[in-house]
A and B are shown apart, each in its own frame.
Chain A
């Protein structure tokens, strides 16, 4: 081990060492302030010793801190403030120790204790800002940035300036913290054109035109376990699309001024670029499959009775109280259907396919107003029964395959704003009614009329024979 690396090592111990004097000195100050109350006067003899230990700890921390600052990875100004605050903590604490040993007024000692607490807090704050970034504390109060896209959505990606609108925000949100104005790990700054081109202590970061040779890209692609992987594995990572974007930008010459449309793009890159455009990621509105809120546990005796009748009643997932019920092996007699009522709060999925359910039974079903999915295929219901479902406002999926429902019957459900899948195969409704239904339900609803045909082609029946 060379001497240099011992210094380096000692420097890196700083973040560990600092906590010793912080704890010890705060304890000293606390004891000092407690002795204001005569009840705690017995603590007095311990105070000088605590200050001495704390003071020595502060001295060691200051030394290690100085060694760490030599690495140059940190923002100079802030290191300066932190350094001098740290040194003052050492001096003040050792002075207080000396003061305790002379006969000095208790009030003065109390004020020094308060002063020392303020000093330690400030030093600690600046130290924390150095490691975690200046906005570390305030960010927690502001909008939590986690999970936020690194690149704000762009209205038209092709019109955007590649660097200004995409690359720069990406670097800002994922890299500036350690390679920006405040910290320059590896002597690298990425917050500006010239700085990016200049590179860091390991040389150039960019080889315009070749992502493969560019250190910037290479480090992104290293496995997270690799020490050189960027961003460090505990920090927010880039998405595959963001990496593809950077690769594309570098391959196209790492241009700082041109618009996306002026740079070459392969088919695949076009898709990647498009993913940064507003609204392209999700064409359809996604909905929750179970309600977001919590619900009380369902009545166990009601479930037991249903199970006895052959109905499959289970929670939709093992940690939820929401239930699904399936009549795949049960008869939907009015008595059994009545048993569903006590579960109306919990029941979200209901399968009544092939049960011979009729309009009268729909009275009971209409009370289950938390339903999200209902399968009524091959039942005897008609438009009249279906109308009763108008109050089930959360309904998203309804399967009416093989029922006598008509277009106007389904139309009654257009008041259900969340409905997005309607299955109408083998009903009186056909593709001819599509326009009418779309007018009622809007374009986003998935209407399936079924009746698909797979025509028999001539080739289907001919066997290929060897010549």
Chain B
């Protein structure tokens, strides 16, 4: 080392030492004050709900997506049976008795009701149409129920009516989506998906969310109405049938033995496990568990879903039509499924769209026939759940996607050939029973012609909030992170309808 080099080395060394000496305790405190402040600030903000760890833990275990889970609160209901009358039944011929409307029958609709309103078909000035059914009060609760539902009338003291439900969608598909997914547009998870995502299902040999349709046609909103949206696909509704094979292709094809089936599923799963080892995609685990469940379901589903094993008097009670596909069969099946631990059973019955454009779509013919097809089954369902001690923990919901106008429909300004009513968003009736809901109660009221709610108004979000509440969830905290923000079923709306909770 030359002298110059040595000097240079000493200089550098000295500079380093001086610098180190400058880092005293005081220096540390001075320099780190800002940092400590920021830490404290973070803690404070965290407690305000800003910053910090967010509260969106994903409840999803891809290897066992449907294992039962505890709700955050004590839920009164363990299962839900949702009876959706697709097409929207007329509240004015079933539950919302309006004698004043009878007095206006045949008169021109007052302009005040039409100003600024949009209807699906009504144009110009339609005529008012009085109730097309006789009403009477039933039970100790003195609830008004029409002659169209003679059996259900005996259930007046078991249910809570919501008389002033409203929506903002006047077409079937968006209105159905709104009620079941919380959005009138496609892409959100349905209520049954949220329920199985949050609670799993008790019976691992059956799907947790079953969908049954009747009435000869699918609901207008199509299958996305029971889709899982952005939730893992395992939570979507499984469509089953009440006649023939409960699930299509559930039987092993001819020549395929049970052992061979098992061997092939094992082989597929092994391949999937390798795939998972490479890519770590949780959807692969979910697929493996789906294969295993399908295998188990091949044994258990045909047994549970076979309504023919039920005794004759039960068939008689529900008014089933064995061998056919009908609402009554689906209702009986729904009871069997709930008994076996299925979390959410969604029924759709098509054919309630009584516009009056044909006999089957009229209030005096088609609607009466539809009522006859559901009256006995829904009554039997409530009574059967009750006698089995299941109504306490099963929430039953009945309703359509919107209501019907107090005016007679005049399509394109021309009177329809039969008595019918157009789609109406401002007021309709939904009822709930069991699962911790008050018995024999009516919430909300409409004006004297049943045009809009005047008290106790509720909307789709309120109903969803209430259903989630009965299952043990706070609808404002039950979220799933998607596209960078937490999503809820009730979006930014929803108030629990405390008045109908027992």
CB distance from A353 to the nearest CB of B (A): 8
B204 at the A interface (CB under 8 A)? yes
Is the Cβ of B203 less than 8 Å from the Cβ of A329? yes
Q: Which of A449, A450, A454, A456 has the most CB of B within 10 A?
A: A454
With both beta carbons as reference points, the residue of chain B lying nearest to A466 in the complex is identified as B359
Is the Cβ of B392 less than 8 Å from the Cβ of A397? yes
Is the Cβ of B376 less than 8 Å from the Cβ of A399? no
A290 to B150, CA, bound (A): 39
Chain A residue numbers with a CB within 8 Å of B365 are 464-466
Chain A residue numbers with a CB within 8 Å of B316 are 456
Contact A318 B341, CB 8 Å, known A397-B389, A421-B392, A464-B369: no
A459 to B204, CA, bound (A): 42
Chain A residue numbers with a CB within 8 Å of B376 are 454, 456, 460
Chain B residue numbers with a CB within 8 Å of A314 are 68-70
With both beta carbons as reference points, the residue of chain A lying nearest to B142 in the complex is identified as A267
Contact with B along A316-354 (1 / 0, CB 8 A): 111110000010110000000000000000000000000
Contact A329 B204, CB 8 Å, known A397-B392, A450-B388: yes
A378 to B396, CA, bound (A): 24
CB distance from A164 to the nearest CB of B (A): 28
Is the Cβ of B151 less than 8 Å from the Cβ of A448? no
A453 to B317, CA, bound (A): 6
Is the Cβ of B74 less than 8 Å from the Cβ of A452? no
A377 to B385, CA, bound (A): 13
With both beta carbons as reference points, the residue of chain A lying nearest to B73 in the complex is identified as A317
A375 at the B interface (CB under 8 A)? yes
Is the Cβ of A401 less than 8 Å from the Cβ of B202? no
B251 at the A interface (CB under 8 A)? no
Contact with A along B139-156 (1 / 0, CB 8 A): 000000000001100000
With both beta carbons as reference points, the residue of chain B lying nearest to A465 in the complex is identified as B365
With both beta carbons as reference points, the residue of chain A lying nearest to B456 in the complex is identified as A240
B289 at the A interface (CB under 8 A)? no
Chain A residue numbers with a CB within 8 Å of B70 are 314-318, 320
B386 at the A interface (CB under 8 A)? yes
Is the Cβ of A460 less than 8 Å from the Cβ of B388? no
How many residues on chain B are close to A (CB under 8 Å)?
40
With both beta carbons as reference points, the residue of chain B lying nearest to A423 in the complex is identified as B389
Is the Cβ of B368 less than 8 Å from the Cβ of A448? no
Chain A residue numbers with a CB within 8 Å of B340 are 328
B472 at the A interface (CB under 8 A)? yes
Contact with A along B58-78 (1 / 0, CB 8 A): 000000000011111111000
A234 at the B interface (CB under 8 A)? no
Is the Cβ of A450 less than 8 Å from the Cβ of B387? yes
CB distance from A417 to the nearest CB of B (A): 20
CB distance from A5 to the nearest CB of B (A): 32
B372 at the A interface (CB under 8 A)? yes
Is the Cβ of B74 less than 8 Å from the Cβ of A457? no
Contact A448 B386, CB 8 Å, known A316-B74, A317-B74, A463-B369: yes
CB distance from A317 to the nearest CB of B (A): 5
With both beta carbons as reference points, the residue of chain A lying nearest to B377 in the complex is identified as A454
Chain B residue numbers with a CB within 8 Å of A315 are 70
Is the Cβ of A328 less than 8 Å from the Cβ of B369? no
Is the Cβ of A401 less than 8 Å from the Cβ of B203? no
Contacting residue for B150 out of A326, A375, A457, CB 8 A: A457
B109 at the A interface (CB under 8 A)? no
Is the Cβ of A329 less than 8 Å from the Cβ of B205? yes
Chain B residue numbers with a CB within 8 Å of A448 are 386-387, 389
A26 to B436, CA, bound (A): 57
**Which A residues, 357 to 414, have Cβ-Cβ distances below 8 Å to chain B?**
375, 377, 397, 399, 401
B401 at the A interface (CB under 8 A)? no
A377 to B389, CA, bound (A): 9
Is the Cβ of B151 less than 8 Å from the Cβ of A425? no
A147 at the B interface (CB under 8 A)? no
With both beta carbons as reference points, the residue of chain A lying nearest to B59 in the complex is identified as A318
Is the Cβ of B387 less than 8 Å from the Cβ of A423? yes
A268 to B443, CA, bound (A): 11
Contact with B along A417-433 (1 / 0, CB 8 A): 00001010100000000
Chain B residue numbers with a CB within 8 Å of A268 are 445
Is the Cβ of B68 less than 8 Å from the Cβ of A451? no
Contact A377 B388, CB 8 Å, known A317-B472, A329-B203, A459-B372: yes
With both beta carbons as reference points, the residue of chain B lying nearest to A328 in the complex is identified as B341
A317 to B73, CA, bound (A): 5
Is the Cβ of B341 less than 8 Å from the Cβ of A452? no
A425 to B74, CA, bound (A): 27
Is the Cβ of A318 less than 8 Å from the Cβ of B71? yes
Chain A residue numbers with a CB within 8 Å of B75 are 317
A289 at the B interface (CB under 8 A)? yes
CB distance from B487 to the nearest CB of A (A): 20
A87 at the B interface (CB under 8 A)? no
Contacting residue for B317 out of A320, A421, A452, CB 8 A: A452
Is the Cβ of B383 less than 8 Å from the Cβ of A452? yes
Is the Cβ of B392 less than 8 Å from the Cβ of A329? no
CB distance from A307 to the nearest CB of B (A): 9
**Which B residues, 351 to 403, have Cβ-Cβ distances below 8 Å to chain A?**
359, 364-365, 368-369, 372, 375-376, 379-380, 383-384, 386-389, 392
Contact A452 B68, CB 8 Å, known A290-B74, A459-B372: no
With both beta carbons as reference points, the residue of chain A lying nearest to B318 in the complex is identified as A454
A312 at the B interface (CB under 8 A)? yes
B187 at the A interface (CB under 8 A)? no
A21 to B341, CA, bound (A): 67
Q: Which of A397, A425, A452, A463 has the most CB of B within 10 A?
A: A452
Contact with A along B432-443 (1 / 0, CB 8 A): 000000000000
With both beta carbons as reference points, the residue of chain B lying nearest to A450 in the complex is identified as B387
B319 at the A interface (CB under 8 A)? yes
Is the Cβ of A401 less than 8 Å from the Cβ of B388? yes
A42 to B313, CA, bound (A): 97
A314 to B150, CA, bound (A): 42
Is the Cβ of A319 less than 8 Å from the Cβ of B72? yes
CB distance from A422 to the nearest CB of B (A): 9
CB distance from B462 to the nearest CB of A (A): 15
CB distance from B145 to the nearest CB of A (A): 15
Is the Cβ of A451 less than 8 Å from the Cβ of B387? yes
Is the Cβ of A454 less than 8 Å from the Cβ of B380? yes
A448 to B387, CA, bound (A): 6
A316 to B387, CA, bound (A): 24
A316 to B393, CA, bound (A): 13
CB distance from B386 to the nearest CB of A (A): 6
Q: Which of A315, A377, A399, A459 has the most CB of B within 10 A?
A: A459
With both beta carbons as reference points, the residue of chain A lying nearest to B71 in the complex is identified as A317
With both beta carbons as reference points, the residue of chain A lying nearest to B342 in the complex is identified as A328
Chain B residue numbers with a CB within 8 Å of A464 are 364-365, 368-369, 372
Is the Cβ of B68 less than 8 Å from the Cβ of A312? yes
CB distance from B158 to the nearest CB of A (A): 11
A328 to B392, CA, bound (A): 18
A319 to B388, CA, bound (A): 30
Is the Cβ of A456 less than 8 Å from the Cβ of B319? yes
With both beta carbons as reference points, the residue of chain B lying nearest to A451 in the complex is identified as B387
CB distance from A354 to the nearest CB of B (A): 9
A397 to B389, CA, bound (A): 9
Is the Cβ of A326 less than 8 Å from the Cβ of B369? no
Is the Cβ of A457 less than 8 Å from the Cβ of B151? yes
The 5 closest A-B pairs by CB, nearest first: A450-B387, A423-B389, A466-B359, A452-B383, A399-B389
What would be 30 A-B contacts, judged by CB atoms less than 8 Å apart? Answer: A312-B68, A314-B70, A317-B70, A317-B75, A318-B69, A318-B70, A319-B72, A320-B70, A328-B202, A328-B340, A329-B202, A377-B389, A401-B388, A423-B389, A425-B389, A448-B387, A452-B386, A454-B318, A454-B376, A454-B380, A454-B383, A456-B316, A456-B319, A459-B372, A460-B319, A460-B372, A463-B372, A464-B368, A464-B372, A465-B359
- Partner-B contacts on A (CB < 8 A): 268, 289-290, 312, 314-320, 326, 328-329, 375, 377, 397, 399, 401, 421, 423, 425, 448-454, 456-457, 459-460, 462-466
Q: A317-B70, A464-B368 are in contact. List 12 more A-B contacts (CB 8 A).
A: A312-B68, A316-B74, A318-B70, A328-B202, A421-B392, A425-B387, A454-B376, A454-B380, A456-B316, A456-B376, A459-B150, A464-B369
